[in-house]
């Protein structure tokens, strides 16, 4: 009888050997064996999941066999082998412990050695949860569930008891990775950087709204890169943004062709101190939205019709002429709209220098607004965070859960192919210098 046949006869599930690179090539489960197990469970009235269920029983069996194999490797001989009769370290019974798994709690017998030197790997000492459970908890928190909701979900679906503090402790393990991500080196050149902030409630002495700044960069190859998250202390001012931009520069960003924002006062001066050649562009969609806030809804269609020739003008001179026409119609009724456009004109006109391919992608901050929308949905149920780090951790988990299939990234790169060619021409090779 071969080793594999012997293992199967003993009840183990045969494992396919590793491939040429040394990586496991997967687990092969005999369908007839699986069917017989399911049929046996049905006949004996066993459930597949839950306490005493088939999956729990199989998990117990696999874990205990793996632990026994680890102990044999540690001692240097198999159970009942005469080689173990030399008076050295030997087996010393088992101790029972319960581990939380993705299918519920499983009680296992962990083997011990007389010297107390055995340190198992598959279920480590003091480990009470298998890795899959921790991944599940992180995923649920990233989707916006509170610690209490995660606790209730695991209890209802998996029959697993995990305290709120344990949920918090599990997610705290991502903090080291978060800090490494926030400090990682960045590309030297970005075609466009979109910046924005959201307000979250943080309890630091007393609950207050605090800004969390975010930035998304478009690389020279057209990839989307969330550059980082930063916690602020007050408003969404240009002074705070300068600290963010300086951090990006210190992490390797030497040049940004266009920075798109939502019309922050004083931001062009802050950007000029960090990247002197960067063009600051106000989000056109935000400018339109802010215009409509001053007007009655019944006038919105007419306002939109009369503003379109302004932001679609081929040149700045043509835009000024169209804006004069717009002012003649609407200044008397809505002077605030005229003042809004006059104050934003310096950050609006760079948009008019570019052809349609570039205008299409810099007209709006939708890229980062989409990210902020996910952030808001995720934090909505939380009410407030105990401190700044907790808020950053939660938003970082949201970042890690974005686009799990990669389809969003692929669509993004397709959309940016034509604009990147236009950027190469418009910026005299500055983008090409940043290509990997």
Residues 6+ apart with CB under 8 A from 265: 237, 238
Dihedral, 260, 265, 270, 272 alpha carbons, nearest 10: 60
Residue 339: what pLDDT? 94
> Between these two residues, 109 and 237, which has the higher pLDDT value?
109
Secondary structure (3-state) at 376: helix
Sign of the dihedral through C-alpha 240, 243, 244, 246: positive
Residue 184: what pLDDT? 93
pLDDT at 163 over 60: yes
Residue 156: what pLDDT? 63
Dihedral, 303, 309, 311, 317 alpha carbons, nearest 10: -130
Give the number of residues written for the chain. Answer: 436
To the nearest 10 degrees (0 to 180), the angle between helices 388-400 and 366-379 is 120
**Span 210-239, average pLDDT:** 83
- Looking up tokens 């007393």, which residue turns up? 206
pLDDT at 354 over 90: no
Q: Where are the alpha helices (DSSP H) in 215-263?
A: 238-250
The pLDDT-based confidence of 132 (bands split at 50, 70, 90) is low
Cβ(337)–Cβ(291) below 8 Å:
yes
* Nearest in space to 345 (alpha carbons), one of 433, 281, 300, 397: 281
**CA 123 to chain centroid:** 28
Strand partners, 192: 218, 258
Residue 278: what pLDDT? 92
Euclidean distance between CA atoms 108 and 60, whole angstroms: 6
Euclidean distance between CA atoms 370 and 262, whole angstroms: 14
Strand partners, 219: 190
Residues 6+ apart with CB under 8 A from 432: 220, 424
> Between these two residues, 91 and 183, which has the higher pLDDT value?
183
pLDDT tens by residue, 55-73: 666 666 666 777 787 778 7
> Between these two residues, 325 and 206, which has the higher pLDDT value?
325
pLDDT at 431 over 70: yes
The pLDDT-based confidence of 183 (bands split at 50, 70, 90) is very high
pLDDT at 118 over 70: yes
Residue 189: what pLDDT? 93
The pLDDT-based confidence of 347 (bands split at 50, 70, 90) is confident
What value does the mean pLDDT of the chain take? 77
- Looking up tokens 């236009």, which residue turns up? 422
* Nearest in space to 368 (alpha carbons), one of 226, 256, 247, 233: 226
> Between these two residues, 382 and 90, which has the higher pLDDT value?
90
C-alpha separations of 28 from 21, 31, 32, 102 in Å: 19, 9, 12, 21
Residue 251: what pLDDT? 95
Q: What percent of the chain clears pLDDT 70, i.e. is strictly above it?
A: 70
pLDDT at 19 over 50: no
Residue 159: what pLDDT? 59
Secondary structure (3-state) at 183: coil
**Span 385-394, average pLDDT:** 84
Euclidean distance between CA atoms 195 and 203, whole angstroms: 25
Residue 300: what pLDDT? 94
Residue 51: what pLDDT? 59
* Nearest in space to 179 (alpha carbons), one of 138, 231, 232: 231
Residue 110: what pLDDT? 82
Strand order in the sheet with 224-231: 224-231, 206-219, 189-204, 255-261, 279-282
**Span 194-203, average pLDDT:** 86
Residue 429: what pLDDT? 81
The pLDDT-based confidence of 154 (bands split at 50, 70, 90) is low
* Nearest in space to 406 (alpha carbons), one of 156, 160, 223: 223
The pLDDT-based confidence of 26 (bands split at 50, 70, 90) is very low
Residue 248: what pLDDT? 95
Cβ(100)–Cβ(129) below 8 Å:
yes
Residue 55: what pLDDT? 62
pLDDT at 158 over 60: no
**Is this structure's pTM higher than 0.75?**
no
Euclidean distance between CA atoms 69 and 227, whole angstroms: 45
> Between these two residues, 49 and 187, which has the higher pLDDT value?
187
* Nearest in space to 256 (alpha carbons), one of 195, 347, 313, 342: 195
The pLDDT-based confidence of 33 (bands split at 50, 70, 90) is low
């Amino acid at each position: 009888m071969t080793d594999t046949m012997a293992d199967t006869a003993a009840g183990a599930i045969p494992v396919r050997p590793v491939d040429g690179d040394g990586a496991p090539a997967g687990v092969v489960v005999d369908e007839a064996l699986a069917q017989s197990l399911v049929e046996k469970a049905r006949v004996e009235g066993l459930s597949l999941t839950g306490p005493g269920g088939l999956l729990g029983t199989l998990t117990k069996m696999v874990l205990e066999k793996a632990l026994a194999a680890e102990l044999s490797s540690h001692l240097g001989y198999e159970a009942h082998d005469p080689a173990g009769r030399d008076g050295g370290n030997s087996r010393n019974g088992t101790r029972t412990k319960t581990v939380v798994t993705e299918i519920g709690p499983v009680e296992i017998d962990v083997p011990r050695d007389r010297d107390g030197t055995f340190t198992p790997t598959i279920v480590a000492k003091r480990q009470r949860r298998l890795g899959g459970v921790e991944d599940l908890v992180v995923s649920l928190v990233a989707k916006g569930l509170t610690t209490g909701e995660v606790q209730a979900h695991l209890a209802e679906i998996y029959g697993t008891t995990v305290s709120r503090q344990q949920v918090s402790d599990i997610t705290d393990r991502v903090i080291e990775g978060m800090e490494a991500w926030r400090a990682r080196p960045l590309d030297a050149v970005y075609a466009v950087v979109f910046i924005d902030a959201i307000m979250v409630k943080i309890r630091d002495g007393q609950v207050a709204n605090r800004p969390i700044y975010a930035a998304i960069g478009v690389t020279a190859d057209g990839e989307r890169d969330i550059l980082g998250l930063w916690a602020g202390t007050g408003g969404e001012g240009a002074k705070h943004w300068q600290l963010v931009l300086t951090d990006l520069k210190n992490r390797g960003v030497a040049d940004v062709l266009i920075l798109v924002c939502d019309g922050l006062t004083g931001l062009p001066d802050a950007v000029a101190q960090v990247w002197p050649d960067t063009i600051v562009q106000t989000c056109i969609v935000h400018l339109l939205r802010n215009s409509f806030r001053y007007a009655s809804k019944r006038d919105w269609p007419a306002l939109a019709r009369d503003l379109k020739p302004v932001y679609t003008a081929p040149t700045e001179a043509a835009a000024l002429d169209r804006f004069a026409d717009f002012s003649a119609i609407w200044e008397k009724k809505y002077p605030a709209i005229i003042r809004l456009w006059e104050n934003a004109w310096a950050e609006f006109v760079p948009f008019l220098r570019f052809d349609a391919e570039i205008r299409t992608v810099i007209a709006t901050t939708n890229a980062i607004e989409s990210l902020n929308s996910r952030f808001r949905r995720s934090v909505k149920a939380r009410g407030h965070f105990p401190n700044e780090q907790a808020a950053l951790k939660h938003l970082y988990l949201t970042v890690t859960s974005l686009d799990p299939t990669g389809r969003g990234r692929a669509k993004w790169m397709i959309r940016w192919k034509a604009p990147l060619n236009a950027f190469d021409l418009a910026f005299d090779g500055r983008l090409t210098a940043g290509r990997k």
